[in-house]
Structure 1
Amino acid sequence: MMKDLYIFLEKLRVNNNKTWMDEHRAEYNQVRDAYILWLDDLDARLAEIDPSYDHTEGKRAIHRINNNLMFHPDRPTYKEHIGATMDRVKEKSDFYIHIGPEESFVAGGYYHPPSSILSKIREAIDYDGDVLQSILDEKRFKANFVLEQDLLKTSPKGFTQDHPHIKLLRYKSFAVMHTVTRQEVCHPDFQDKVVELYKVMMPFRDYLNRAVLY
């Protein structure tokens, strides 16, 4: 199934226009529907391991393939990857799967969140930033995830440079990523790998969700 998804995306990359897509809509629907079923299986497995997980059926998890040309007219008509967000709830931190010929990865957290969310995370760090730092320093976490290096040049408003967690406070994104190869995605145990990555990421997302939602 994943192999067929890659093949379709490769063809789309060199034929990124509405005419071609209209002619190959049936093929797109076939690979999309197969991926949605895969996501449905993943949804059930994630719900079993995480009491705070919110069921996200594949149809709701998968992102639209059309680019938003109203706000980004320079982009191609269609995305050349397939994105899906599991545990999908407004303002909740992401658990995201990205599959594309050029790049595939599993990611989570908040990527360039609005100031309202960023402020809540910084308040949490001010209170118990040592907890977040211990999560980031945990051996399995460090072995699997890279934290988005997007920092302010100076301390954020309301915090001094000598704050014990000033580096964490300077982050503008709290998002981590694990790159996967095409071979890994097409392997029969890829869903097992995604489930394990979810488990390793859970403490990180739990910390962020508590900061933002509770």
Structure 2
Amino acid sequence: MPTIKFSKDILDFLKKLEKNNDRDWFNDHKEEFKTNQTKAKDGFKFIYDSLSKHDLVDTFKVFRIYRDVRFSKNKLPYKTHFSASFSRKKPELRGGYYVHIQPNNNSFIATGFWDPNKDDLLRIRKEFEQDDQEIRAIVNDKKFKKVWGEFEGDELKTAPRDFDKDHPSIDLIRKKQFIFTKKYNDEDVISDNFIDDVNASFIAVRPFFDYMSDVLTTNLNGESII
């Protein structure tokens, strides 16, 4: 069986699209696009299959190449990357995975919580307010940090309403997103072990997901709400 990977052809096509981001060029190269889109989808499917061996992943979504320009100042019609998201089984499991393939060393993977709804965000903040030791132990673990580094994402400049701005956990409570990212260069992406590295990196985030899933499926007394 041939090795499933993201080939150099995919990156080369995206580079050309970046230089020729218009409908005429795209229509003239539609077959080349379809060929490379299929290759990318094969890679994303293999990532999904790898994730499914150690996690309950409901579905994966490959994002369309077409940009929504209706409310954007950037009117270029096409994205210059291929990407996919992978959702964990709800309601008992929370969090998700994202893979972004873009040339010129702009590829990355991401995981965590991009946009928690109002209720989830309040529950997370209340947990941090009550006890931040477990979450800090997880994200400050040396093995975890070696893979994922520091928290990323938007945060408030001050305390949310009804929270003490001088609380010891205010650095966590202020956050609106709880994201980790890992970057890759082009040589990484086309290597034979790229998908294995992606999968291993997603395995490494499991302690964080286990903690957050427990928080979001229980009340502050630790009683199940599902």
Give TM-score, length-normalised by structure 2. Answer: 0.83
Report 1:2-151 matches (<5 A). 2-50=7-55, 53-56=56-59, 60-87=60-87, 92-102=94-104, 103-145=106-148, 146-148=150-152, 150-151=154-155
Q: Which structure has the greater CA radius of gyration?
A: 2
Higher percent of residues as helix: 1
Question: Which residue identity does 1:7 align to in structure 2?
Answer: D
Question: Which residue identity does 1:118 align to in structure 2?
Answer: L
Compute the displacement of 1:44 (Å).
1.6
CA RMSD, Structure 1 to Structure 2 (Å): 2.2
Deviations 1:149-196 (A, max 9, x none): 533221111211332311110112210111111111110011110111
Q: Does 1:173 align with 2:177?
A: yes
Q: Separation in 2 of the partners of 1:41 and 1:119?
A: 36
Q: Secondary structure at the match of 2:57?
A: coil
Structure 1 segments unaligned to the other structure (5+ residues): none
Q: Does 1:193 align with 2:211?
A: no
After the TM superposition, list the runs of 4 or more consecutive aligned residues in structure 1 that deviate by more than 4 angstroms: 88-92
Question: Which residue identity does 1:54 align to in structure 2?
Answer: V
Identity %: 30
Q: Separation in 1 of the partners of 2:172 and 2:50?
A: 32
**Farther off after superposition, 2-11 or 164-173:** 164-173
Compute the displacement of 1:127 (Å).
3.6
**Farther off after superposition, 132-141 or 68-77:** 68-77
Structure 2 segments unaligned to the other structure (5+ residues): 1-5, 218-225
